[in-house]
């Protein structure tokens, strides 16, 4: 009898559980923010509104006007005429602009890839070891970041001059046949400017990577040595994975610097000789001020802004995927 009642109670319990499972799930009650919280939110927006209005006036409004002007032919004086996408098609049809885009890819190698490689290697060799004179070495390498672009351009223009230090050193070592006016040579002007860009970005990369290496736990290096890892394997298994976040920052800064490079090119060669060192920013400047075509200059600026945004988003997305 007890067994029969027990089985009936088990059946009743199972039936009630099945009925509850068959019922649709109840929706979670939406909690409305309290009046006090809503008041704090509006108060925060009120505090931010002056900065947001200033940002919109200084950045967003001119950016919108630039996009609008990119669809017109306008010399800055006479009436503007509709151009449609003609200013943007110049990236395909204009040989000077195509050459400038190719030079940008060239500068990415010198302004980004080389400095990152050299900076990572230098940081790995000096950051975790008590190297004699390491602080002075890092200070000297970081010095280009302290100099203004105008000063750096004047220094390199003097170094590359026909009677400059570079040619003097070559002549002193019996290599007078290699001397030349570096910035006036159609073949060597672009690599010469690229090396100047490497010099400028190397210090920044080394300091940022060095700071990141200092934050890597020393236990990871001890474990790698316990497993018999050498210096090269230690770098690829411990140091490089620990630098992924910092690598994304450095890659973004250096690639954007290569895309927007202007000062050192304009102050040394002005895009010459001929168009051998021309860049999109130099073309933008020439079309905006030398032979005014504000619409074409605006189109170049819009494309550079979009490319910079895409590069930033891609690097950030890849770094998040690594994390």
Domain residue ranges of the chain, discontinuous segments joined by +: 105-322
264/25 Cα distance (integer angstroms):
66
- Tell the burial category of 130 from Cβ atoms under 10 Å away from its Cβ (0-12, 13-18, 19+): exposed
Three-class SS of 185-227: CCCCHHHHHHHHHHHHHHHHHHHHHHHHHHCCCHHHHHHHHHC
Which contacts (CB < 8 Å, 24+ apart) does range 159-164 have?
A: 160/192, 160/268
CB 126 within 8 A of CB 138: yes
Burial class from Cβ neighbours inside 10 Å (0-12, 13-18, 19+) for residue 309 reads exposed
* pLDDT per position as a tens digit, 71-112: 999 988 888 899 989 999 888 888 999 999 999 999 999 999
Least confident piece of the model among 34-38, 60-64, 300-304: 34-38
Predicted confidence band at 271 (pLDDT cuts at 50, 70, 90)?
very high
Q: Which pLDDT score is estimated for 21?
A: 46
Per-residue pLDDT reduced to its tens digit, 105-114: 999 999 999 9
Q: 19 pLDDT exceeds 90?
A: no
> Which residues have a Cβ under 8 Å from the Cβ of 242 and sit 6 or more positions away?
212, 213, 215, 216, 220
Q: How confident is the model at residue 296 (pLDDT cuts 50, 70, 90)?
A: very high
pLDDT at 308 over 80: yes
pLDDT digits (tens, 9 = 90+) for 153-181: 999 999 999 999 999 999 999 888 899 99
Whole-angstrom distance, CA of residue 197 vs CA of residue 269: 14
**17 token code pair:** 């559980």
Q: Does 35 score more than 70 pLDDT? A: no
User: SS3 for 73?
Assistant: strand
Confidence band of 25 (pLDDT split at 50, 70, 90): low
- Name the pLDDT band for 3 (thresholds 50, 70, 90): very low
Query: Counting runs of H as helices and runs of E as strands, what totals does the chain give?
Result: 17, 2
> Can you tell me the distance from the alpha carbon of 290 to that of 277, in angstroms, rounded to the nearest whole number?
17
Q: What is 105-322's CATH number?
A: 1.10.3720.10
Q: Determine the average pLDDT of the residues in 187-193.
A: 94
Mean pLDDT value of segment 34-51: 78
pTM, full prediction: 0.80
Which residues fall within 8 angstroms of residue 203, CB to CB, at 6 or more apart?
Answer: 119, 138, 141, 142, 143, 144, 145
What is the pLDDT confidence band of residue 29, given thresholds at 50, 70 and 90?
A: low
């Amino acid at each position: 009898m007890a067994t029969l009642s027990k089985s009936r109670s088990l059946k009743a319990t199972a039936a009630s559980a099945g009925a509850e499972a068959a019922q649709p799930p109840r929706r979670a009650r939406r909690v409305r923010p309290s009046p006090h919280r809503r008041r704090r939110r509006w108060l925060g927006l009120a505090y931010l509104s002056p900065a947001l209005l200033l940002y919109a006036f200084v950045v967003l409004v001119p950016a919108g006007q630039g996009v609008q002007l990119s669809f017109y032919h306008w010399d800055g004086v006479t009436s503007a005429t509709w151009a449609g996408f003609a200013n943007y098609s110049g990236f395909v049809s204009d040989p000077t602009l195509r050459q400038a885009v190719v030079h940008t890819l060239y500068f990415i190698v010198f302004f980004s890839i080389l400095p990152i490689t050299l900076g990572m290697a230098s940081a790995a060799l000096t950051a975790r070891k008590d190297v004699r004179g390491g602080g002075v070495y890092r200070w000297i390498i970081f010095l280009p970041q302290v100099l203004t672009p105008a000063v750096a351009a004047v220094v390199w223009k003097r170094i590359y001059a026909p009677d400059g230090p570079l040619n003097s050193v070559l002549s002193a070592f019996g290599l007078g046949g290699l001397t030349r006016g570096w910035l006036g040579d159609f073949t060597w002007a672009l690599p010469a400017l690229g090396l100047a860009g490497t010099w400028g970005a190397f210090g920044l990369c080394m300091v940022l990577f060095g700071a990141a290496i200092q934050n890597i736990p020393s236990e990871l290096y001890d474990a790698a040595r316990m497993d018999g890892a050498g210096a090269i394997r230690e770098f690829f298994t411990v140091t490089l994975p620990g630098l992924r976040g910092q690598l994304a920052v450095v890659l973004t800064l250096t690639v954007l610097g290569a895309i927007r490079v202007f000062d050192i090119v304009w102050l040394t060669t002005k895009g010459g000789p001929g168009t051998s060192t021309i860049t999109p920013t130099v073309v933008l400047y020439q079309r905006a001020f030398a032979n005014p075509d504000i619409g074409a200059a605006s189109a170049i600026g819009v494309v550079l802004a979009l490319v910079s945004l895409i590069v930033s988003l891609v690097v950030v997305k890849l770094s998040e995927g690594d994390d």
